[in-house]
Structure 1
């Protein structure tokens, strides 16, 4: 799908029954990661709550990766997507996984919830740190999800490693990486605890996460590479059996994105519905238990909010 031309991609979304909000003639798409990912579950929860509490009919549309749906968002072929704070910066500025391919019309609609990503290994593996990955077969490239590769590169660099220190196994996305882990072909994979892909993998082979940020210097290096990120400590809880001990992962805010030309009133209505319906969001997916309406307008240097979102945030006192 990476090679789709603009017209073909627009036709794809049209075939799925989704349109731009400017047309107001059918469901509005939220471009997101494939079904089974935590990103898809978050987008589906947003779509459900917005559809039930506004005049906007919204649906999640899973795609191969952000390299597909964020350019479509920038062009106005879809009006919303899910992603994260640093990808919003990368896309807008043409850096990171969008190096040389700026998408200047991407805007933030709202921060949705804290999110953590790290490296998952087999439970019986002898791997306890990033350094133990030296010489091991490990997913690389992520041709359809370049952002995963950028995050992996950030934690490896901070630990004094690079892809050259791994026995790299090219994969298109984290789903294939997880499949290879279940088969015993690779030593680990970068994933988000609590996601459907993690549960599916754990059903085939017991898994656990390891810390990927160790020490203040590593934390500072990761924060510089991934704007708006931080050390996300994840503690063992019953609902996350893959977390067998406290681990430090890449933490960041997952966000709802839109584009500069999206209808201001529509963006306002969407953000308002999310702000006023935390309970419904939590019922749609457990991860929204961590959603805090007061954090919806958190500032990240380099990320720009849509005017419709800012109008609502000013009304409720989240921004001046």
Structure 2
């Protein structure tokens, strides 16, 4: 185990030119995130750019195969920060959901960044209009490197009263591979986030559209119980989202900047302060930050824990509620 960790760190030195640790201030800090092309990576890159430009530190986004890789690395302190979502912070800390039996007790929340929606997209010319229409169709499952996607997928199918076994499951490691299969016509749909680079790339190869995945109050309540802090995210058609052909109800949640318990409090403080005070720069880095609200950076989700460095800033800003 020790040898593998050393080998991993040396690989980071070679490939990225830096080593991550909790306390060093004279080298770039790493933000573990999803692969390039994902909206998660774009958000992490924006955070890195703005925090680097407005604080006494340098950050870099480091794309990984999925949160099942970078969340445990963050828990160990191999990364300084990570981008994910509020309910994954709960799962990771408690050892539930996609981290069932594998608790990562050092995970801490630094900031909530912006609302986010995830749902299922299908080919635009498909006859699929609802989750029911996916029964018997080839559909991505497994998500060995992105178990969270599988957990979200399970939540919406359970809420719709559909046994995942009724799908013709096609094992995939992550949503990127699922999107490739959709573009090829090998699967009927895939779970993704509207507006992401992967969605745009898929749409360019084969036009796609999203379908509603949460229908009715009972389904909404069941999904919210399975995914703490989530809600129904209504997405309306707009010019910049050609994949949204009509209003659809997707899984809504807050995307978050995470850190770990041993991260330097002054560094965490400086990062969240830089973000809170530079919304315009964040929007310039990526348009999704138009939805960023500094007043909501400290909204708490039961089961997750904020880092003391972040709490210090939020108290000074008057937005910490405890």
Give how far 1:13 is off.
2.8
Tell me the equivalent position of 1:284: 285
> Could you tell me which residue of structure 2 aligns to residue 188 of structure 1?
189
Instruction: Measure, in 2, the Cα distance between the counterparts of 1:168 and 1:292.
Output: 39
**CA deviation profile, 1:219-278 (whole Å, cap 9, x unmatched):** 000000000100000000000000000000000000000000000000000000000000
Q: Is the 8 A contact 2:22 2:262 kept in 1?
A: no
Give distance in 2, aligned partners of 1:101 and 1:266: 28
Gaps of 5+ in 1: none
SS of 2:165's equivalent in the other structure is helix
Measure, in 1, the Cα distance between the counterparts of 2:30 and 2:129. 41
Q: Distance in 2 between matches of 1:298 and 1:310?
A: 11
RMSD: 1.0
The answer to whether residue 8 in structure 2 is matched with residue 9 in structure 1 is yes
Report how far residue 7 of structure 1 moved. 3.0
Alignment partners' CA distance in 2, 1:158 and 1:179: 27
Contact 2:98 2:151 in 1 (8 A): yes
* Residue correspondence of structure 1 range 80-119 to structure 2 within 5 A: 80-119=81-120
Partner in structure 2 of residue 240 of structure 1: 241
> Within 1, Cα distance between the matches of 2:318 and 2:80?
25
* Alignment TM-score, normalising by the size of structure 1: 0.97
List per-residue Cα deviations over 1:50-88 (Å, max 9, x = no partner). 000011100000000111111110011111000000100
Q: Are positions 1:140 and 2:141 aligned together?
A: yes
**CA displacement at 1:162 relative to structure 2:** 2.3
- Distance, in Å, in 1 between the alignment partners of 2:114 and 2:186 is 33
Partners of 2:4 and 2:226 in 1: CA distance: 30
The aligned residue for residue 265 of structure 1 is 266
Distance 2:109 2:259 in 1: 6
**Please, which runs of 5 or more residues in structure 2 have no aligned partner?**
none
SS of residue paired to 1:100? coil
Deviations 1:110-160 (A, max 9, x none): 000000000000000000000000000000000000000000000000001
Equivalent in the alignment of 2:79: 78
Distance in 1, Cα, partners of 2:30 & 2:11: 11
Find the residue that maps to 2:205 and give its secondary structure: coil
Give SS of 1:190's match.
strand
2:68 paired residue number = 67
CA apart distance, 1:21 = 4.5
State whether structure 2 residue 314 is matched by structure 1 residue 300.
no
> Partner of 1:311 in structure 2?
312
Q: Distance in 1 between matches of 2:86 and 2:59?
A: 22
CA displacement at 1:23 relative to structure 2: 1.7
Tell me how far apart the structure 1 counterparts of residues 292 and 169 of structure 2 sit (CA, whole Å): 36
Structure 2 equivalent of residue 219 of structure 1: 220
Number of equivalences: 317
